[in-house]
Chains A and B, each alone.
Chain A
Amino acid sequence: MLPEIEQYFRLEKLPHMWCPGCGNGIILHSLVKAIDKLCLDQDRTTIVSGIGCAARASGYLDFDTLHTTHGRALAFATGVKFAKPELNVFVLTGDGDCTAIGGNHFIHAARRNINLTTIVFNNNIYGMTGGQYSPMTPNSCRATTSPYGNLERPFNLTDLAIAAGATFVARTTTYHAKQLTDLIIEGYKNKGFSLIEVITHCPTSFGRQNKMGTPADMLKWQRDHGISAMRYENLTPEERADKFIVGVLHKTEAPEYTTEYQKLLEKLG
């Protein structure tokens, strides 16, 4: 770890609890670098997380950190941000946490366009409970609760966020760690609800059940399947089938909720 980012970690809590090769540590690394580049005041920054592997991230970071209940990170974070809009609030959540049990909170946080920077650690599986399928598990993939292959269809989370009203939507992977830092910076700068979906690898639960190889193999899979919009445009439909775009997918401007409420207070005050 670079000495300049050590200050953002609760070093005494490391090494973290994630499995060998888990991508969550890479995401956290990118987040911290983004916070460092943004020069955010550590005392005025809050990290909110839900439940699951990804949600444990909050405990390793040296900020005000709120490890909440299953799926509710965005609802807690909405309370923090609305009560004290001057705080920088990042939400760290997993694909199960955010899109299943927390799905309702997700669409409504996006709809309100409340100024939260949300990073979804998408490892396509419930990791902490031992590998059950999530709403982001691809069709036909194996999980402990889809032993014959997943019959359900996964969400397209970025499309969902756009439809729900998020004003900054991006996707990348743990392989694209540097890009992730840039996207978090851009997401933070957006005054509204920002979603950054990070496709990360869970070698223990998803990788093993779906014969994805080593953690390094899973990173290479991300490298080979996550491509820029420009490259994607030049592919034939057949070539696109197993590819996805990494980078900014949507950016727009809309009234931000806490700002609008502040205007109301000023009008009445």
Chain B
Amino acid sequence: MSTEPRLVQGNEACAEGAIYAGMRFYAGYPITPSTEIAEILARRLPQVGGKFLQMEDEIASMAAIIGGSLTGAKVMTATSGPGFSLKQENIGYACMAEIPCVIANVQRLGPSTGVATAPAQGDVMQARWGTHGDHPIIALTPSSVKEAFELTVRAFNLAEQFRVPVILLMDEVVGHMREKVTLPQPGDLPVVDRVKPTCSRENYYPYKADSDKTPPMACFGEGYRYHVTGLFHDESGFATEKPEIIDWQLKRLHEKINQHLDEIITYSSEETADADLVVIAYGGTARAVSRAVKLARQEGHKVGVFRPQTIWPFPEAAIGELAASGKKLLVAEMNYGQLLLEVQRVAAGRCEVHSCLQSNGELTLPDVILTKIREVYEHAPGN
């Protein structure tokens, strides 16, 4: 890979990041605005000995990558809103059967077919709760081309480490944007591989974990001969309806994520120390927010930016701290208020929570956010 900076598209950075992370199995179905990821990988994967498969639909794509992952491959699929809805069935399966995989969702305007090429961030809650039943989920959200690369690598690392599906929640802005970047060289970023069992077949329990709660994962074809199912199962992998075992499994699925929140959750925090207003934004919107905050600072407003890179699990502790310190919060997102709900929940009345919401197929412009920032100051008590 070139050490020279070059113009790279967000979707391309995602595809290259996946290869960097060791992804060698992709199955997908074309859908705007994610399609470049498939097109690039169709060309690139066979060059590096990897497999590219265009399936008959998104459901099948998600199923195929789970099958591929069980043979030991690092796997991914990419899609957008309507396809993301279809993938939910087998995302749930991957949660339940603990199959490492990465799902890139380059968000577009919805609901339904919406506008194929229009930016939006309406899948925040679908990423969290799209599949049925209680389950933890990890979702990462990049806001630049460079970060699309880095967070794709990270998505694979987390998927492999915790045996979970990880959602790379991109948006049309980041996916289609081109920036001049130098892509990382091998060794620059850590690459994590799943832990495999070292015990004999007789002693292998595919869902028995030690204190970190993530069990070692055997590959199909290596002699462990184990059973995988989407039904609730015991340590041996076989279905059960016993409430105490269901309880054990569901708790473990949550604990394996919850006890590693510090490792999983990352965010960037700019000028929040002295701020009396912190704007919370992610993905494409965060770029406009950065600009708006600069302009607001020039006007003398003490404004900061909090940008979650891990959107799920929600960075509850960090936002809780902001709320507890009495800073006002302003959530800017391209939807009718999805992350806003989480911020309000965490703030729990401890601070003012404002919003700047837009869902009309256009990127929220810095001016719109700046106007909102001014409004917050103008309406502040004492002004």
Contact = CB atoms under 8 A, between A and B. Distances in A.
Judge: A and B partners, yes or no: yes
B60 A78 contact: yes
Contact of A80 (B56, B57, B220, B227): B220
A58 B51 CA distance: 27
B230 interface: yes
A155 interface: no
Residue among B27, B67, B226, B229 having the largest count of chain A Cβ atoms under 10 Å: B67
Contacts of B238: 13, 59
Given A69-B93, A79-B68, A62 B225 contact: yes
Nearest to A13: B238
A80 B68 contact: yes
Interface residues of A, number: 38
B243 to A, nearest CB: 19
A64 B90 contact: no
Nearest to B201: A43
A64 B89 CA distance: 22
B129 interface: no
Contacts of A86: 221
Given A43-B223, A78-B60, A108-B55, A66 B93 contact: no
B63 A265 contact: no
A67 B224 contact: no
A11 to B, nearest CB: 13
B67 A76 contact: yes
B73 interface: yes
A63 B224 CA distance: 8
A83 B73 contact: yes
A46 interface: yes
A91 to B, nearest CB: 11
A72 B64 CA distance: 9
A37 B347 CA distance: 67
- Secondary structure call for the B interface: mixed
A66 B67 contact: yes
Given A58-B227, A59-B229, A79-B65, A261 B51 contact: yes
Nearest to B223: A43
A76 B66 contact: yes
Interface in B38-87: 46-47, 49, 51, 53, 55-57, 59-61, 63-73, 75
B133 to A, nearest CB: 13
Nearest to B68: A83
B228 interface: yes
B189 interface: no
Interface in A28-87: 42-44, 46, 48, 58-59, 62-70, 72, 75-84, 86-87
Contacts of B64: 75-76, 78-79, 82
A108 B29 CA distance: 13
A66 B70 contact: yes
Given A79-B27, A83-B67, A59 B227 contact: yes
A58 B226 CA distance: 10
- Secondary structure call for the A interface: helix
Interface residues of B, number: 42
B225 A72 contact: no
Contacts of B230: 67-69
A105 interface: yes
A1 interface: no
A166 to B, nearest CB: 15
Given A84-B220, A86-B221, A79 B47 contact: no
B51 A43 contact: no
B282 interface: no
Given A83-B25, A84-B220, A268-B47, A75 B71 contact: no
Contacts of B57: 104
Contacts of A241: none
A269 interface: yes
B262 interface: no
A103 to B, nearest CB: 10
A87 B47 contact: no
B204 to A, nearest CB: 12
Given A78-B55, A80-B70, A265-B49, A67 B231 contact: yes
Interface in A117-142: none
A82 B68 contact: yes
A75 B59 contact: yes
A69 B67 contact: no
A230 interface: no
B66 A79 contact: yes
B226 A69 contact: no
Nearest to B56: A108
B59 A43 contact: no
A84 B71 contact: yes
A63 B188 CA distance: 40
Contacts of B223: 43
Nearest to A48: B67
A62 B72 CA distance: 20
A2 B375 CA distance: 82
Contacts of B65: 79
Interface string B85-129: 000011001000000000000000000000000000000000000
17 contacts: A44-B221, A46-B220, A62-B225, A67-B229, A67-B239, A68-B63, A70-B89, A75-B63, A79-B66, A79-B67, A79-B70, A83-B67, A83-B73, A87-B71, A104-B57, A105-B60, A268-B46
Q: List 6 A-B pairs, minimum CB-CB distance, nearest first.
A: A79-B67, A79-B64, A75-B63, A75-B60, A83-B68, A67-B229
Given A59-B238, A79-B75, A82-B67, 17 more contacts: A64-B70, A64-B221, A64-B226, A65-B228, A68-B63, A75-B56, A78-B53, A78-B55, A79-B53, A79-B68, A82-B53, A83-B68, A84-B71, A86-B221, A87-B71, A108-B56, A108-B60
